[in-house]
Amino acid sequence: MTMTPGDWKQLRDAPAEKQSALLAEFDSAGLFPAPEEETGAFSDRLHRLNIELESLSRGDSDVQDLLSSSPEIPASLRAAAEELTWKIYRFRADWVPGAFSSRETGFFSAGVLLEVDHLLPLIFLHGAFVRRNRRGGYDAVETLAHEMVHAVRIAFPASAYEELFPCQVHASRFRRMAGNLFRHWSVPLFFFGGIAASAVLAAMSCNGWFLPLALPLLTAVREGELRRRFQKASSNLRLAGVEALPVLLRLSDREIREIAALSPGTIAEKGNSSPRWRMLLDRFRIPEAE
């Protein structure tokens, strides 16, 4: 999808009864209205994003140097990653700029996302992917799809599920299940650090060797509660007749918590609350079995 000024103007000027259909078109391109973002504010954000993208295409963007010195991600790799995000989350974000740059990723990262003013996402993959499809156990297609999932949530508030959503694109079951532990450095530090500290103290025959185990225990309880809430929200959405994972990607943590506590019938009624919710429930409705 290539945005033009007419696209955002059409959304801004559309009557309420037509807004959900227009929102669905943007949604399929990975352009999501943020929670509590009115349609007019979303339209204005699309306008500002369009200006940035046009500036990049002309070569006079303030962030041009970040991309101009790095090889561009080829169309074949993009297409494969977009097929993956479409299969799992029903979007293709072909508008997100991306390039290969080991300088931006650093040695240890396979890919990173840089955010410009919470508006423009820039994806960088490690330079090793120019020559081969895998590096350090990471697949180029999955890594690009992973960063695309981050990119489409650029306008969203910080989330306790920050890595859960991107990790669902990976074939590795371990990454899908445990990837969210690595959303912030403190989570694995408390979990693994507490276990390691307890082992060291036990080896030194310290009386309080078990005390550091409180850190991994509390972390496990917290992560278990997050997972339970996520699964409950998923179940409620399916019972309400909509695809769970694509809808949850488009929600804030507060909304996920709300959905986990609602009955399927009440969820179905949320379509009357806003054009955004009407679009979500219509676009991701599960077809009835014949």
- pLDDT digit string (tens) for 33-76? 999 899 889 999 999 999 999 998 888 888 888 887 889 999 99
115 forms bridges with which residues in the sheet? 121
pLDDT for position 81: 97
Which 3 state secondary structure label does DSSP give 35?
Answer: coil
Where helices occur in the chain by DSSP H, the ranges are: 5-13, 16-28, 39-58, 64-68, 75-89, 102-105, 140-152, 164-167, 173-178, 186-203, 214-239, 244-249, 253-261, 264-268, 275-283
Closest CA to 70 of 98, 107, 111: 98
Contact by Cβ (8 Å): 59, 68: yes
Contact by Cβ (8 Å): 237, 280: no
pLDDT for position 289: 40
pLDDT for position 3: 59
Closest CA to 12 of 62, 35, 46, 63: 46
Q: What is the pTM of this model?
A: 0.89
Instruction: Calculate the alpha carbon distances from 288 to 89, 233, 241 in Å.
Output: 20, 21, 8
What DSSP state is assigned to residue 211? Answer: G
Strands 138-139 and 120-125, by their bridges, are unpaired
Longest pairwise C-alpha distance within the chain: 72
Contact by Cβ (8 Å): 72, 98: yes
Q: Going residue by residue through the chain (290 aa), what tens digit of pLDDT does each one get? A: 555 555 777 888 888 778 888 999 999 999 999 998 998 899 999 999 999 999 988 888 888 888 878 899 999 999 999 999 999 999 999 999 999 999 999 988 999 999 998 899 999 999 999 999 999 889 999 999 999 999 999 999 999 999 999 999 999 998 888 878 777 767 777 777 878 888 888 888 888 887 878 887 888 888 888 999 999 999 999 999 999 999 999 999 999 999 999 998 899 999 888 899 999 999 999 987 43
Which 3 state secondary structure label does DSSP give 90?
Answer: coil
Checking 191-196 for CB contacts under 8 A at 24+ apart, the result is 191/215, 191/216, 191/219, 191/220, 192/216, 194/219
String of b and e for 146-164 (b: at least 16 CB within 10 Å)?
bbbbbbbbbbbeebbbbbb
